[in-house]
Amino acid sequence: MTELLQFAFSGLTVGAVYALVALGFTLIYNSCDVINFAQGEFVMLGGMTAVFLGLAGVPLPLAACLAVVLTVAVGLALHRFAIEPARGSGAVVLIIITIGASIFLRGAAQVIFDKRFHTLPPFVGGDAIRIAGAAILPQSLVVLAGAVIILVLLWAFIERTLIGKAMVATAANEIAARLVGIDTRAAVGLSFAISAAIGAVAGILITPVALTSYDVGSLLALKGFAAAMLGGIGSAVGAVIGGLVLGLLEAFAAGYVSSQYKDAVAFLVILIVLLAMPRGLFGRAPVERV
Amino acid sequence: MRGLLNHRLFPALAMSAVVVLMPLVLPSAYYYRVAALVFVFALAAVGLNLLMGFAGQVSLGHAGFMGIGAYAVAIGPTHLNLPSWLAFVGGAGLSALVAFAVGRPILRLKGHYLAVATLGFGLLLAIAFSNEARFTGGPDGMAVPRFAVFGLSVRGAQAWYWITAASFLIGAVLALNLIESPTGRALRAIHDSEVAARVLGIDVARMKLAVFVVSAVYASVAGSYFAFLNGHITPDVSGFLRSIELVAMVVLGGLGSVAGSLVGAALLVMLPQTLTSLHDYEHMALGLIIMLVMIFLRAGIVPTLARALRRA
């Protein structure tokens, strides 16, 4: 029982990060049908920028805010200079562009920062908290709390504000949205900005627990993409559940099967779920028109 | 002239000319080796192009089949005492079988769901290769015995240049013929609309499975050559990044263009070799070039240029 709880804690911590990356995938996919493989680089940029600003003597809260701002700027630039000019291209072409962007950002990080592993001091000090014999680090609770806060803020923004509703309208039908006077280009740009911000925050939160380096992005993009597909692409609820399930699967597989095969178990389960439910857990069935 | 340009086998003819004329300008064994690598990846890309460019199905796991081919020629002679040519053929056969078994269930998935399923498949193979150290040498990889037929072993970059070039050309001609056959037309119909294709009486599931198996064999053969060329393989051969690279070759060169796959492979094999002079800026330059090509030559390098030529 203690063991189970211990694995669940570590799985939920990692899963929360996967969920945030998957949420970033979902936001951009909904706004413009692009699978953004540079999503993992947002996480890396958030973590690495905060680390290096910290090393330069900037206090941690300010460094974190600046890191988010910088990542948002990168997200907006990605939309403006890479996605917008290629509008109307096929899905695969847009995917290759985002992969190019992710190689570019990784290369830039390698030059601007360095190739070593880095960490941040935990935001809250103190010893591990014991619950029924299982230990959980305070920072893990911070990660989970951060993820919940982001979700609530995002939900409130989308459901309760006019700008959020404009984004929903753009996602539902771009031409119709333009006809009622919504600046759809700005709405798509906004989705890149929000995705970048979510990624950066995830990167900052997880760095004290999991270390960061210039090349953590591609693995996170892969996991986040898998989580988003497991949940059913386009569904925000699905992205969050998919991320948490993926994190838990990995933790349990590492604990009970073998740590070398944890990714294998996770992907095997994803394959089986997709074969049983070809639209993911929460995806809607599309209608194909001829 | 126009008739020649539009002939079905014109791309094959042009590519043969390139293959024959290249040795006139290749200065050293190193360049022969790079050229052989280009042909190896071009072969895998042509196979993947059949699947992506014609049938419209995305695979992010094709490096998995390259891995099967590569490890077949390493494990067969080392652990099972098979002659290397038999291991080579056996690897291709095994890839076809695996593609058949895996393709049947997962090709029912569509679009990005198929992408993530193939990605998972490739990942599973890469994980198996790096963890079954008894057979594969684990993450450090294993040595690949020289390729030998009837006691004659192949050595030297020049020999490999001609072998890989000939294999690539055969693969390209087969692909060009397949495209123009009724099967090829059926595949293109599936690409345009699965529903419409089914209404026309095309057995969509069977066609997709067939092209998936064919593309797996292409990748497997390419993987075997890759192993022979390097003399050593690691699980990276079937890694996620390798799969992405294959997809990028197909899309950069041009979806649905056989000659494009050669151009895409040449670009992505040679760029890192040339960009090493940029040292730390290598990856930035590579990413930038990929983005610029896709933004300005949306249909891919070869189709865009061909259209421009025709208009001129």
Q: Residue B247 corresponds to which tokens in the numbers above?
A: 């997809």
Is the CB of A260 less than 8 angstroms away from the CB of B131? yes
Domain hosting residue B140, numbered range:
2-20+28-311
Residue A258 is classified by DSSP as -
Mean pLDDT along residues B35-55: 94
Residue A47 domain-assigned (yes or no)? yes
Question: Which residues in chain B touch residue A280, judged by CB atoms under 8 angstroms apart?
Answer: 113
Question: Which residues in chain B touch residue A268, judged by CB atoms under 8 angstroms apart?
Answer: 120, 124
Question: Which residues in chain B touch residue A260, judged by CB atoms under 8 angstroms apart?
Answer: 127, 130-131
CA pair distance B7, A54, nearest whole angstrom: 63
Residue A84 domain-assigned (yes or no)? yes
Amino acid (one-letter) located at B124: L
> Is the Cβ of A267 closer than 8 Å to some Cβ of chain B?
yes
Residue A140 domain-assigned (yes or no)? yes
Nearest-5° angle of CA B67, CA B68, CA B69? 90
Contact between residue A208 and residue A123 where contact means Cβ atoms under 8 Å apart:
yes
Question: Which residues in chain A touch residue B254, judged by CB atoms under 8 angstroms apart?
Answer: none
pLDDT value of residue A46: 95
> Is the Cβ of A269 closer than 8 Å to some Cβ of chain B?
no
Q: Residue A154 corresponds to which tokens in the numbers above?
A: 């995002």
- The segments of chain A whose pLDDT lies below 70 read 285-290
In this prediction, residue B22 has a pLDDT band, given cuts at 50, 70 and 90, of confident
Q: How far away is chain B from the Cα of A171, in angstroms, using its nearest Cα?
A: 18
Contact between residue A137 and residue A7 where contact means Cβ atoms under 8 Å apart:
no
pLDDT value of residue B24: 83
Identity of the residue in B110, B127, B241 whose CB atom sits nearest the CB atom of A263: B127
> Is the Cβ of A277 closer than 8 Å to some Cβ of chain B?
no
Residue A59 domain-assigned (yes or no)? yes
CA pair distance A180, A165, nearest whole angstrom: 12
Residue B149 is classified by DSSP as E
Residue among B297, B273, B299 nearest B286 (CA)? B273
Question: Which residues in chain A touch residue B128, judged by CB atoms under 8 angstroms apart?
Answer: 264
The enclosing H or E element of A126 equals none
Domain hosting residue A67, numbered range:
2-144+183-276
Q: How far away is chain B from the Cα of A44, in angstroms, using its nearest Cα?
A: 16
pLDDT 10s digits, B57-103: 989 999 999 999 999 999 988 888 888 889 999 999 999 999 999 99
Is the CB of B195 less than 8 angstroms away from the CB of A290? yes
Q: Does the pLDDT of residue B273 top 90, yes or no?
A: no
- The pTM score is 0.88
> Is the Cβ of A256 closer than 8 Å to some Cβ of chain B?
no
ipTM value greater than 0.90: no
- How many structural domains comprise chain B? 1
Assign residue B132 the CATH number of its domain.
1.10.3470
Identity of the residue in B119, B193, B298 whose CB atom sits nearest the CB atom of A93: B298
Nearest-5° angle of CA A36, CA B55, CA B17? 100
B26 or A118, greater pLDDT: A118
In this prediction, residue B1 has a pLDDT band, given cuts at 50, 70 and 90, of low
pLDDT value of residue A285: 66
Which of A258, A260, A265, A277 is most worth mutating to test chain B (most B CB atoms within 10 A of its CB)? A260
Q: Residue B199 corresponds to which tokens in the numbers above?
A: 């209404």
pLDDT 10s digits, A53-99: 999 999 999 999 999 999 999 999 999 999 999 888 888 889 889 99
- How many structural domains comprise chain A? 1
pLDDT value of residue A287: 60
